[in-house]
Amino acid sequence: MSFLSIRGLHKSYGQTSIFSDIHCEISKGEFVTLLGPSGCGKSTLLRCIAGLTEVNGGQIFLDGQDLVPLSPQKRGIGMVFQSYALFPNMTVQQNVAFGLRMQKVSSADSKRRADEVLAMVELTDFADRYPHQLSGGQCQRVALARSLVTRPRLLLLDEPLSALDARIRKHLREQIRHIQQELGLTTIFVTHDQEEALTLSDRIFLMNAGRIVQSGDAETLYTAP
């Protein structure tokens, strides 16, 4: 069995089926991009994996463990959203350490681990600032640090670069890839931007209207036959 194995996943909102039979297999340490047009179900699939929305059928195994019965906190998954969703009244360091404090990690250890991941995203000097004092790119790096601090088994990135301008987008894209490789972290990156998908991933899953229609590396998918 693959590290992440999704089998026959089904999700509806009321009478509307978003997807009815998603299958995919992802290896440990792989960086996969889920590429497809707006509304095709990418976010919904990530939210199902993270446990932020209930599935209507099918199975999700992570490292051999069935995730479906587990609460989001028990899944060992980190997630970053397009909107950074930082706590405005907490400093950068408090934002990052928050998840650990929830897990009853001591204040000293939480602070040490927050500093570790803030160094990874090159924000050591910003630890005591508040979100409103940061640029969009810096806020997204805080959100990335916050998702890494709990040492997730799987990282889910939902259009994390879409709100940023082009120059920052490229820098952050490279930073994400670098950190992912350093940590050997299995990652699913959702985007509707073909260039992002082509430059980032080990493998691309093309999604359309609730189906994964094709998968392969950039060369295989985009080389004319």
For ligand ADP, the closer of residues 41 and 78 by Cβ is 41
Interface positions, 47-86, toward ligand ADP (CB under 6 A): 82
Q: Which of 1, 15, 38, 108 binds ligand ADP (CB under 6 A)?
A: 38
Stretches 33-41, 144-152, 169-177, 194-202: which one binds ligand ADP (CB under 6 A)?
Answer: 33-41
CA 96 from centroid of its chain's CA atoms: 16
Residue from 18, 16, 25 nearest 60 by CA: 25
Q: Which of 33, 43, 191, 201 binds ligand ADP (CB under 6 A)?
A: 43
Q: Which of 22, 24, 44, 188 binds ligand ADP (CB under 6 A)?
A: 44
**Residue 34 CA: distances (Å) to CA of 3, 8, 11, 117, 200:** 17, 17, 17, 25, 11
End-to-end CA gap in the chain: 31
Could you say whether residue 161 binds ligand ADP (CB under 6 A)?
Answer: no
Could you say whether residue 188 binds ligand ADP (CB under 6 A)?
Answer: no
The least distance separating ligand ADP from the CB of residue 113, rounded to whole angstroms, comes to: 28
Could you say whether residue 87 binds ligand ADP (CB under 6 A)?
Answer: no
For ligand ADP, the closer of residues 13 and 222 by Cβ is 13
CB 45 within 8 A of CB 218: no
Residue from 20, 48, 13 nearest 190 by CA: 48
The least distance separating ligand ADP from the CB of residue 70, rounded to whole angstroms, comes to: 20
The least distance separating ligand ADP from the CB of residue 69, rounded to whole angstroms, comes to: 21
* Long-range contacts, stretch 119-124, CB < 8 angstroms, 24+ apart: 120/145, 120/148, 120/179, 120/182, 121/145, 121/175, 121/179, 122/175, 123/92
Residues in contact with ligand ADP by the rule CB under 6 A:
13, 18, 36, 38-44, 82, 158
